Structure 1
């Protein structure tokens, strides 16, 4: 069997009863986190929403034919919904991350599934099963090449995200394994995108995930209508893996249904790049313990694994012109963390602050022989000499339960468009999604529910 056939055989036949209870809970917590940070970043998705309404609006009385945009409830086409909702979920770049393959799976899977489920009146249990299918499919496929394709300049979320949306959408639509193979083959033809956005400080990053979600969903919808995709689109001689990595890995034991990749998905405490989460957390803790302020720091050196240190934009010192540059720059993020004791969304707009940028220039990122995801920070202070802190992640790092996830969302309540009562209603619905229709979830995000 080809890689696509092996993946499709698993996802098409995935049943809710075969998903371990802790995975169902993880899926619900992931939806809560991703939609929660999306609501908290809704103002940054205004352009995507305007595009969806102007280019994909369904018109008055056409709600049954469209998916309703979160927050305002406007019915738009499923394609427009996926693009705009991907931009919403990813607006703060605080959505979940599958760190091992550098891919944002929530922002590429969830928009497609919400679009199809709201439009068709499907149940939350169906969405959660499809979500698991999408996460497992894309994770397995990306394990074969994400590191190499990223090193070649491709953005993993754009390259592998369409597989998550395609596999999840195919499962939600009830496609056979054969048609799911075609959906994956079509998704392979629809994926692509580079990391130059981080270097240039431009805004492609916010829309790449929505485009990946839309393209994967369209791949499944076409497959449902009988359009065929190559069964060896992934591992063929001219297939996806060879095109993006230059080679085709030997067939592996995928252990689908045994090694659940969703368990490895992590969340973000700060609205910055996943690579920067542990360094920011580590430095803020070091500064608090030793009373280190921004003015005390002569220099700081951050040691990262070589792949992380080389990720585009991570070692940038500016000049910056957009939050796409500052959220990716570890020197910038650490400078803010030293000065503010953490990072809020509005802190990412300080590139014209001379004192802050002077502090940014005192931070240096270097590659080192440390475990994946780990870091070591050495701070030289004016009075107390050198302070060192290091941390390597374990399975519990940034893997929150429902209570912590909900509490973190409540801490961002002022940034969401929901009243306190409606925010609690939203949390309640998401955490009970396996027993509710998806329309209740969309209803819970709308500030003024439409009849």
Structure 2
């Protein structure tokens, strides 16, 4: 009797079958939007310190993949790293709530880099399909493994990003089923990222995305060179589930029942803050609009949210805030900034030590709401009550308000113009909007370069 396939080989078989079988247009359309969102973040965050640091360590290359918004090429792995860090740089990225992971900032930079290595031209539709399948694998495994307790300790994007990336880039690089399973297994070995950074004020979070993109791509290349990865890397005695989750793996991990693809559950953040600070901040905006007295009359602000929101590292942060990242993670800070500024924008986090925001942060109290918690993760609701000035104003949102499709396209084009110029940005937007008919999407490597020079499709 033939032994049943291991989990990783089962996932590889499903990935190859989906790759060969085609995907519905709405699913490919969602992948197109996710790509635009990732590029939007990378262009806007390119001047930020951590993005500049990641770009600085990318080696120079005459040809290869592109370091986004720069005028140069780099080896594929270096470009994947730098672009993933930049895409994650605003803390405004796509969100897969079931795994608590941000796949877009990892998957798309690695896939774009992989097009510079592929043995033959990669069509736009193939790139989108690889992205869908990458989200599917990362999302399914993430749903099975991640719990609120684990999310306090480990960074989900760092745990599942390498696996997702190895799957997508492995398909783009032409790996057959057995080699793809090895790529995925090797990538699981690089799962990493600890959630100590919110407490310490470190920038580790940004680099988790870079490590995941680079590691997943390298795992695919290793498998292509013949490297063999442990088939039981998920369910084995020292596999991912027992090592990280401290529990047995499920007997099977299946794809998309009835076409319910994981990428379709992804949402795009409307504001540059932690996922768990989004809805409280948005509810605070709604409450503040109906608060007639001056902000300095506020006596207290009560915030009700989910248990998951309050438990995630940094989200129940009352300061002092060393940097913008700590402020963006904090529900208290985001709520206070929303009330005082009347918006939640990058400017709200420019001065984490703002004394006015700090004074209001001290008046914000958080509590876990049982009804909101019961609705999570299908919905992420929050309620904010402002008390003071002789009045009490409450606003509740049953779910997070997400960025609209047109907003995503607008911010991508707007920031591409700022980094590339009007004409190159227009060419890039046109290429992504028409991606399904592009025969060689490797052209994006050239279109994302500041000098508009098309990078070679092959790189060392």
Q: Please indicate, yes or no, whether the TM-score normalized by the shorter chain is above 0.5.
A: yes
**What does residue 216 of structure 1 align with?**
216
Tell whether the 8 Å contact from 1:271 to 1:344 is kept in structure 2 after alignment.
yes
* Cα 1:406–1:161 shift into 2, 3 Å: same
Instruction: Give the match's secondary structure for 2:383.
Output: strand
**What does residue 276 of structure 1 align with?**
277
* Cα 1:24–1:378 shift into 2, 3 Å: closer
Tell whether the 8 Å contact from 2:141 to 2:253 is kept in structure 1 after alignment.
no
* Cα 1:414–1:148 shift into 2, 3 Å: closer
* Cα 1:414–1:236 shift into 2, 3 Å: closer
Distance apart, 1:235 and its partner CA: 1.2
1:276-355 equivalence runs, <5 A: 276-291=277-292, 294-355=295-356
RMSD: 2.1
Tell me how far apart the structure 1 counterparts of residues 270 and 20 of structure 2 sit (CA, whole Å): 30
- Match among 416, 419, 429 for residue 417 of structure 1: 419
**What does residue 91 of structure 2 align with?**
93
- Match among 55, 74, 77 for residue 76 of structure 1: 74
Distance apart, 1:441 and its partner CA: 2.2
* Cα 1:202–1:174 shift into 2, 3 Å: same
Tell me how far apart the structure 2 counterparts of residues 88 and 162 of structure 1 sit (CA, whole Å): 17
Distance apart, 1:346 and its partner CA: 3.2
Distance apart, 1:68 and its partner CA: 1.8
**What does residue 229 of structure 2 align with?**
229
Tell me how far apart the structure 2 counterparts of residues 338 and 389 of structure 1 sit (CA, whole Å): 12
Tell me how far apart the structure 1 counterparts of residues 69 and 416 of structure 2 sit (CA, whole Å): 15
Tell whether the 8 Å contact from 1:86 to 1:210 is kept in structure 2 after alignment.
yes
**What does residue 184 of structure 1 align with?**
184
Tell whether the 8 Å contact from 1:16 to 1:125 is kept in structure 2 after alignment.
no
Tell whether the 8 Å contact from 1:149 to 1:244 is kept in structure 2 after alignment.
no
Query: Given the two structures, how large is their TM-score scaled by the length of structure 1?
Result: 0.92
Tell me how far apart the structure 2 counterparts of residues 152 and 214 of structure 1 sit (CA, whole Å): 24
Q: What do residues 270-300 of structure 1 show as CA deviations (whole Å, max 9, x unaligned)? A: 1111111112122212222444653242211
Q: Which is further off, 165-174 or 278-287?
A: 278-287
Tell whether the 8 Å contact from 1:112 to 1:165 is kept in structure 2 after alignment.
yes
Q: Give ranges in structure 1 of 5+ residues lacking alignment.
A: none
Q: Give ranges in structure 2 of 5+ residues lacking alignment.
A: 455-460
Instruction: Give the match's secondary structure for 1:38.
Output: helix
Distance apart, 1:367 and its partner CA: 1.9
Tell me how far apart the structure 1 counterparts of residues 330 and 396 of structure 2 sit (CA, whole Å): 19
Distance apart, 1:23 and its partner CA: 0.5
Tell me how far apart the structure 2 counterparts of residues 264 and 43 of structure 1 sit (CA, whole Å): 31
- Match among 10, 13, 17 for residue 9 of structure 1: 13
Distance apart, 1:15 and its partner CA: 3.1
**What does residue 380 of structure 1 align with?**
386
Q: Which is further off, 422-431 or 332-341?
A: 422-431
**What does residue 430 of structure 2 align with?**
428
Tell me how far apart the structure 2 counterparts of residues 233 and 414 of structure 1 sit (CA, whole Å): 40
**What does residue 167 of structure 1 align with?**
167
- Match among 399, 405, 410 for residue 393 of structure 1: 399
Q: Which runs of 4+ in 1 moved over 6 A?
A: none
Instruction: Give the match's secondary structure for 1:388.
Output: strand
Distance apart, 1:168 and its partner CA: 0.5
Distance apart, 1:161 and its partner CA: 0.7
Tell me how far apart the structure 1 counterparts of residues 280 and 392 of structure 2 sit (CA, whole Å): 17
Instruction: Give the match's secondary structure for 1:417.
Output: helix
Q: Number of residue pairs matched?
A: 439
Distance apart, 1:322 and its partner CA: 1.5
Query: Given the two structures, how large is their TM-score scaled by the length of structure 2?
Result: 0.90
* Cα 1:237–1:148 shift into 2, 3 Å: farther
Distance apart, 1:166 and its partner CA: 0.6
Q: Which is further off, 8-17 or 269-278?
A: 8-17
Q: Which is further off, 245-254 or 308-317?
A: 245-254
